[in-house]
Structure 1
Amino acid sequence: MAYTGLSFGNPVFAAYAAYSSLVLLKMFVLAGYTTYTRFRVGVFANPEDVKGNKGAVARLDNPDVERVRRLHRNDLENIPAFLAVGLLYVLTGPSPGVALWHFRIFTAARCFHTVSYLAAVQPLRTLCYTAGLLATISMTLQVLMAGAL
């Protein structure tokens, strides 16, 4: 029987922790990129943020800033779901190889989604989004099956 504890002695949990950390780090970097973009184009969301930034304006309609914000929002809609269901999935005692592929697919899909979103590349962006979503749905279904009475 596979060890299913929430410890780094469990290879599935260790992989989950590593890939979760990668997507969280990616999300934090994107938050920083939003700030960088605001300073680069001189557009801020709040009037008080304009103070001390010569030539800056408070607007919510700059296309560069809004693209990064939409991307960040997309991460905020998808990554927490992966984190929650991934942890429950670890508790089902999945095959380490299968679990690793779920985590890899989600992480790679989110990274490529970020690049394709920033570069405005379709249909790659949709394909990446869908791949990540399918990995999460697959884990969700396995959690449901394991938890069914």
Structure 2
Amino acid sequence: MQTNNGTSANDILSLDNPAFCTYVICCCLLILKMMGLVLLTIFHRQTNKQVGISEEDARFGMEVALHPNVERTRRAFLNDLENIPAFLFLSFAYLWTRPISTLVHVVYYAFLVARALHSFVYAVYVVPQPARAICFAIGFIINGYLAAHTAIYVFIVGYLKK
């Protein structure tokens, strides 16, 4: 399958394409990071008076209550759910715009680092604001850039060049 700019899907979605490799690495690491937050939530539930989330957990001797460490970790995970899926889609679509390879690496790894630091300063080692807000803003701006760049590229290549 050829794209409008002469690039085939095989060229873009190839391990010979450094941008695609960076995409795959970042996606895998982001998902592993999210899985780590799930495990951290379980750890906090178990170590903080067996904190459960629903009435049926009481049958297993868990106290159904809110605990600050559990809730903080859950909020970090929910924040990931609000940001990482968008990145997974936008960063994949961005590959089709034939971006500068160096820029792909910088943008993708910056998002990865920003999200990892966000989770760290939110759920692992609590750092006062604006640390978390800065990490969130970096990821948010990157998602905005990826969305705008891809939409403009598709509009120009898809509509105006026809």
The CA distance in 2 between the partners of 1:12 and 1:124, in whole Å, is 29
Residue in 1 that maps onto 2:89: 84
Shift in Å at residue 48 of structure 1?
A: 2.3
Residue in 2 that maps onto 1:65: 70
Matched, 1:48 2:53: no
Residue in 1 that maps onto 2:118: 113
The CA distance in 2 between the partners of 1:22 and 1:91, in whole Å, is 22
Which of 13, 16, 21 is residue 14 of structure 1 equivalent to?
21
Q: Which amino acid aligns with 2:70?
A: V
Which of 19, 27, 33 is residue 26 of structure 1 equivalent to?
33
Q: TM-score, normalised by structure 1?
A: 0.91
Identify the range of structure 1 (82-91 vs 3-12) with the bigger mean alpha-carbon deviation: 3-12
Please identify runs of 4+ aligned residues in structure 1 that moved more than 2 A.
1-4, 47-53
Count, aligned residues: 146
Structure 2 gaps, min length 5 = 1-5
Shift in Å at residue 2 of structure 1?
A: 7.4
Residue in 1 that maps onto 2:143: 136
Matched, 1:102 2:110: no
Which of 23, 35, 42 is residue 35 of structure 1 equivalent to?
42
The CA distance in 1 between the partners of 2:38 and 2:105, in whole Å, is 27
Identify the range of structure 1 (68-77 vs 42-51) with the bigger mean alpha-carbon deviation: 42-51
Shift in Å at residue 145 of structure 1?
A: 1.2
Using the aligned pairs only, state the percent identity. 31
The CA distance in 2 between the partners of 1:144 and 1:125, in whole Å, is 29
Aligned residue for 1:51, secondary structure, equals: helix
Q: TM-score, normalised by structure 2?
A: 0.84
The CA distance in 2 between the partners of 1:2 and 1:133, in whole Å, is 29
Q: If you compute each CA radius of gyration, which structure gives the higher value, 1 or 2?
A: 2
Shift in Å at residue 47 of structure 1?
A: 2.4
